[in-house]
Amino acid sequence: MAVVLVALAAGLVSRADTTHHAVADQQHVADGSAPTTPAGARPADVPECAAGCDTAFTLALPGDAVLAGLQTTPVASPPVALLGYWVAGRLRASTTVSGQDGLPYEQVISGSCAPDGDSQRCVVSFAFAMQGRAVAALRVHPDHGITPTDTVEGEAIDPVLVDLDGNGRADAVLRRSTYEPDFATGPQYWETWVEADGVFTHTGCTEPVAGDQPVPTHPATGPCRP
């Protein structure tokens, strides 16, 4: 698995420098004895949501399944992003996804899934620290729960999940700043990765421009700033 380094601005992201890495977070897997709940996602089923969670997204999957992105409420310190997976109204698994520093991501933003045999290949975007953003690749399966397989991180403005290579599955796009003169007002550009078999491959960057530029619809192939 090739490693792609993405530079983080010093002082803005408190975690370790970014990388493209596989992750294997501990997940809670239901043993089949839990009582059946109504079809759909119930955040209260997730152990870490005992004090309450907000729902960032829910994705209806084949087989009467649901994947949900959850966020612990402000009473939790520090906040934690969670993923829950229900099949036929019963919680099958829940998990956090951790960054390179080993700490769970703090905010979940959005998700997208598409079939891959009897599994779902999903990508989910997260936020951490001040400007840190991440996109994780996941395998979701009724028998195996949620398995994170790869993650890309970077200091960025927005992560976007969009199909870049036409395979029907979302890929990872991060909007970056040149910092000329600073993060908020400097020209911006997009950096892209395509996902295949649960692994992200870095493709390149677009040219920096002042003001808005459309989200890429194909992999960027230009050089990236150091």
pTM for this prediction:
0.82
- When the pLDDT of each residue in the chain is averaged and rounded to a whole number, the result is 84
Q: Helix/strand/coil (H, E, C) string of 3-41?
A: CCCCCCCCCCCCCCCCCCECCCCCEEECCCCCCCCCCCC
pLDDT tens-digit map of 97-112: 999 889 999 999 999 9
Which CATH superfamily does the domain covering 27-155 fall into? Periplasmic lysozyme inhibitor of I-type lysozyme (2.40.128.460)
Condensed to tens digits (0 to 9), the pLDDT of residues 173-223 reads 999 999 999 988 899 999 999 999 999 999 999 999 998 889 999 999 999
CB atoms within 10 A of CB 159: 22
Report domain extents, the chain: 27-155
Radius of gyration of the chain from Cα atoms?
Answer: 18
Tokens of 31: 């043993």
Given a cut of 50, whether residue 116 has pLDDT beyond it is yes
